[in-house]
Every structure is written in C-alpha cells, then in structure tokens.
A and B are shown apart, each in its own frame.
Chain A
Amino acid sequence: MARELEELSDVELRGVAEDLGFDVGRKESRSDVISRIRARRLAIDEVSREEFARILRWAGEEVKDFHAKDLLVRRFYRVNFRKTEGLSPEDLRIVARLHAVDFDEDTPTEEIAERIETSAKRWTDVLKRAGGRVVGYIAKKVAGADDDEIAPPEEEEKAVGASLRKGFKAALRFSMDDYIAEKLDEIEARIDRKLDDLDRKMDEWRTREVRHRLRIIKYTIIATVVVAVISILYKLVAR
C-alpha cells in the first residue's frame, strides 16, 4: 500500500487525501501527506463496513447491500457532522477517530460530540468562505454593476475562479467516482450471482455423477450375486 502511495503523482495524492476527508496544504510535503493518508487508512481499517453503513444511514443516506466499503468511506467523509444528535456514543467515537478529533477513553460523550461539531463547523467555514466569494462574484455579474466600483482586486478574482474550478472539479470527480464505484459494485454482485449459480450447478452435476458411479458399482455387485446364485444352483444340480 505504501509503495502504491509513493508511486502516485501529486495530483493523485491530493485526490486520495480529499477522498479521505482532508485538504492538503500548499506547503505540505509529499511524505507528510503520505503519512497522514496512511494514518487515516489505519483508522479506517479498524472500522467495519457495517459501522460505516450505520453512520451513513443515521445521516439519511441510502446504503445498499452491494455497496463496497470504499464507497461508503468516501460518502462518510462527505457527511456534515455539524449536528450529531442521534448518533450513539460508539458511533461518535468512530466519527471522532476518523476525523482525527483529539479525545481519550475518559472523555465524556457530550464533550466528544461538541468537539466533532466544532471541527465540522471549522471545515464548513472554509467552504462557506469559498462559497461566499463565489456567490459575490456571481451576484456582481448578474447585477451588472460598474466594474470599477465594486470589482474585487485581481488576486481575489483569481482566487474565486480557482475556487470555482476546484469546486466543479471536485464535484465532477465525486460524481464520477460514485457512478463508477456503483457500476463496479453492480457488476461484482452480478458476477457473484453467476458464480453462485455455477457452483450450484456443479454441486448438482457432482451429486448426479457420484450417484451414477455408485449405481454402476451396485449393478456390478448384483451381476456378481446373480453369478453366485447360478453357481450355487449349478453345484446343487451337479452334486
């Protein structure tokens, strides 16, 4: 797994990090990102598919039996945890662990919930700021106001453009990932069904074949018995 990560390009590494719910800072080195991804994957490995499914169902998302754990993980990191009402203490601890929220075994559940919600607000604030800039930019274009009066500085316009591009790119990538993952899961489920069907047919064929062989043995023994009976009768007659 580590070798695979090291072979990835910067863009791919950033994509993996985004899938695992954290943004990569501009000044962050590759090795730091890789170690963060590894740590996050270790935390994910400790959580079962059923636990992810349970949390996603709590968030009101539909989870089907054929959805793979990878897909559930990606969807989990897109869930907003600003409100955690209804989550069981066990699930709260899982969410905290998976978002690297600091807590220990003695931390009360309420405290953990508060920390998760605070962290979630911090993540969404970043998005809000980016979204605010986007909305401002669009409002300006729609209102057709004088560019000289309210035009943002050039740098800010660039940042807004970059945010838009990044947002669209991320949205597109997420939907494509979801679509492909769902299709792959469907194909996998279909292959599994086919394999089960083949296995069942093999079972039937094997039982039929064994029964056929045993029947041949039985007829051979019956023929031998017939010969033995003839032999006895012959001996009686010949005596």
Chain B
Amino acid sequence: MPTGLAGRHPVDFDLFYFWRRLLVVVVGIYCCITTADRMAGYWRLLHGEERHWGYARKYLVIQLLRVGLRDVGWELTQIAFWLAVLATLIWAHRFVS
C-alpha cells in the first residue's frame, strides 16, 4: 500500500504528522546550511598562508583546548538531561501507537 508524505496512507492524512516531518526536514536543512556557512566563513578567514594566519590558527586551537569542563559543565549536564528526556519520549511513543 503506497504511503504519503506524512508516512501514512493518503486517506489517513494526518496534519500533525505532516507538520512534524516538515519541521524535521526544514530545521535539518537550515542547520546544515548554517553550519556549512559558518565553517566556510572560518575557512575564508583563517586559510591564509602567511605566518600570522598560522599563529592565529594555532592560537584558536589552543583557545579551544583551554575550554574547561568547569566553565560549561552545567550547560552540558542540562543538555544530557534533556537528551535523556527526549530519548525516553521517543521510546514511549511505541506504547501509545
């Protein structure tokens, strides 16, 4: 039996499922484009062959390595917590299908 855009039979078209799928696609594409654009920006800024750009790249790497867990630990903990909640919710979907 053929399925529609929302993953359901065309007869059982569900606006919510359609919206959810559309959200994933749009936000996913937006994230990819934004990340690629930002990376390309950094590349354009730092790709110079001159010595000072070499120093800038090394300094940037050192700056990133110096990020302490203590400074961002609380944010990381919250992200881990919300990811766990999300995973649980996704897993819980099978019981209400």
Contact = CB atoms under 8 A, between A and B. Distances in A.
Interface of A: 202-203, 206-207, 210-211, 214-215, 217-218, 221-222, 224-225, 227-229, 231-232, 234-236, 238-239
B79 A217 contact: yes
A232 B92 contact: yes
B29 interface: no
Given A206-B63, A206-B67, A231-B16, A225 B89 contact: yes
Nearest to A234: B16
A231 B64 CA distance: 38
B72 A211 contact: yes
A223 to B, nearest CB: 9
Interface of B: 14, 16, 20, 23, 63-64, 66-68, 71-72, 75-76, 78-79, 82-83, 85-86, 89-90, 92-93, 96-97
Contacts of B83: 221
A226 to B, nearest CB: 10
Contact of A214 (B14, B72, B90): B72
A235 B75 contact: no
A236 B93 CA distance: 10
A224 B86 CA distance: 7
Contacts of B23: 227
Nearest to A207: B71
A134 to B, nearest CB: 53
